[in-house]
Amino acid sequence: MTLPTLPVIRLRPNANVRAIRRGAPWVFANETVLDRRTKALAPGTIAVLEDAERAPLAMVAVNPASKIIARILGPADAPVPDVDWFVARLKRALDLRIRLFDAPFYRLVHAEADGLPGVIIDRFGDTCVIQPNAAWADLLLDDLAEALVRVTGVTCVLKSSGGRGRQLERLDDVNAVLRGSAPDAAVPVEMNGATYMADLTSGQKTGLFYDQRPNHAMAARLCHDARVLDVFSHVGGFALAGLAGGAASALAVDASAPALALAAEGAERMGASDRFATRRGDAFETLAALATEAERFDVVICDPPAFAPSKPTLEAGLRAYERIARLSAALVVEGGYLVLCSCSHAADLEKFTGACLRGIGRAGRRPVLLHTGFAGPDHPQLPQLIESGYLKALVFRL
């Protein structure tokens, strides 16, 4: 396909052309001329974006069904995506990861920051899990899988269709095996001296959260000989990192029985089962119950799901973060440590910190902020896209 055959979408005169020229990766529907021809484009169509004066700006992937109507793929005269196009982008992404990590367990592609808008790829040794959270990637998924095998040499490629991103793009929720055979058991992943069990076929998201790796390491340094409480633990998250750091005990709290079973398996593989326990239940209710039971911990970590995934949910999300901070701060011994995390991009660092401080204050505690953490370098941030800097981790001493 050559440039003259590509359809064209056009910006309105009041659109922020300067931002696009400076690297903004998204174009919203209210910035474009939504004529009948544009609305009729099939989701995933590759097109040329023009400014209001009809000057070409970029090659884009279009989805008229999404508020993000266009995602920037490259210059207007760039080759359209095919296997070779994907190979080039994947090679660039892989080059960074092999410089950062000794073993092939990492986020290989972090969407826009790696030049593949809406695409998440996590690697687990010989298996890669793709989240194609944009229509164009879903449409070209076979080419992407082929390129992934060529570049990495993996023998298995899985499609994970869970998550809010695909819902916003109006895509299906069907998982699939794209290459090879799916693992018949959870995959062990070594990080920071801990062993995590990743369920790649039916677990949450791609099976494991690599983004917290540096924050796990930071928290683990505080856990030697400590009693540790890890709330919203998923498959062991901070709890197993704490055990690897020499914790006297770790209690993992989560609403998911399968996730806690994987956490227990990880602890067993580490030879730490005697120091590890789980408690299934709602996080808010469990924190309140632990307080009434007069339980206290040297280190408490809360890593909840996104309470504020969008601007309309921001205020309610901040109240939830404040409540978590209040309940968890009450469980920390004097001189102990509290780690509070947020993966809500709508709640920026300032707003999240404010909510945490209000909650800690309401618990009658006085905090000192020791450290502010973010996602690891295999989750690079695109400066023009605030959403790519979603993860925050605050480490307090009380």
Task: Yes or no: say if 123 and 106 are a contact pair by the CB < 8 Å rule.
Answer: yes
Give the pairing of strands 45-50 and 8-10: parallel
Residue of 223, 302, 341, 343 marked active site? 343
Return d(Cα 173, Cα 44) in angstroms, integer. 17
Tokens of 3: 């440039």
Residues 6+ apart with CB under 8 A from 115: 74, 89, 92, 93
Question: Is 302 in the active site?
Answer: no
- For residue 22, with 0-12 CB atoms within 10 Å meaning exposed, 13-18 middle and 19 or more buried, which class applies? exposed
SS (H, E, C) the chain: CCHHHCCEEEECCCCCHHHHHCCCCEEEHHHECCCHHHHCCCCCEEEEEECCCCCEEEEEEECCCCCEEEEEEECCCCCCCCHHHHHHHHHHHHHHHHHHCCCCEEEEEEHHHHCCCCEEEEEECCEEEEEECCHHHHHCHHHHHHHHHHHHCCCEEEECCCCHHHHHCCCCCCCEEEECCCCCCCEEEEECCEEEEECCCCCCCCCCCHHHHHHHHHHHCCCCCCEEEEECCCCCHHHHHHHHCCCCEEEEEECCHHHHHHHHHHHHHCCCHHHEEEEECCHHHHHHHHHHCCCCEEEEEECCCCCCCCHHHHHHHHHHHHHHHHHHHCCEEEEEEEEEEECCCCCCHHHHHHHHHHHHHHCCCCCEEEEEECCCCCCCCCCCCHHHHCCEEEEEEC
Catalytic residues: 343
